[in-house]
Amino acid sequence: MGHGGTLDPLATGLLALLVGETTRATERLHTAPKVYDALVRFGTETATDDREGGTTRSAALPASASRIEAALAPLRGAILQVPPAYAAVKIDGRRAYSLARSGETVSLAAREVQVHRLEMTEWSPPDARLLIVCGSGTYVRSIARDLGRALGSAAHLAVLRRLAIGALDVADAIGIEALRAAGHDAAVARLRVMNDETLVLPRRYLDEAAGKIVAAGGRT
């Protein structure tokens, strides 16, 4: 068995599992667009860019929702993004997070990523809820960090839920304990063929109202 991209420990949502010969297509599945429901918390930046890291600095909250909306614009499209220090990116053969945990200073180069859609669905200070549709290699933690800095504030990722990987949707997923309880035959019955269509994100994730998508994906 293999998987189509792990989730950070704080995250919930869709994890694609590949079985048998389909595991050969793991790298192809990694390239599929992904959809996230993210909660960004303003006021503090952390070492890991999410709620699990220690606070590195604090700042005032953004003045208004309209200012947040304006700051989202430069984070859309093809952008240069610096991964979090605590990331799986390799530096001279070692994972960045391993270096950071050992106390070494981690300096990662910016790389181009694609953010197809980035919309705020709710502003309830200090939290902004975002719908994010992005390409492979995009770090939602970095979006949270960079949004805070762009606003002259500080921010980190507080909650994250993955709603889709290509054509695979969290609405069709099943929890691991429920899968175990259902038994072997039920698990086999849930298998689906992976093909080119599996990598194609349904158009509704780009066209449908962001609030509706987030509501349908379950709570973060």
At 79, give phi and psi (nearest 5°): -125, 160
Sign of CA dihedral 101, 107, 109, 110: positive
Angle (nearest 5°) at CA 218 between 50 and 125: 50
8 as an active site residue: the answer is yes
Cα–Cα distance between 36 and 149 in angstroms, integer? Answer: 21
**Cα separation of 104 and 200, whole Å?**
40
Q: Which of 8, 50, 172, 196 is catalytic?
A: 8
**Half-sphere CA count of 9, side-chain side, radius 13 A:** 7
What are the catalytic residues?
A: 8
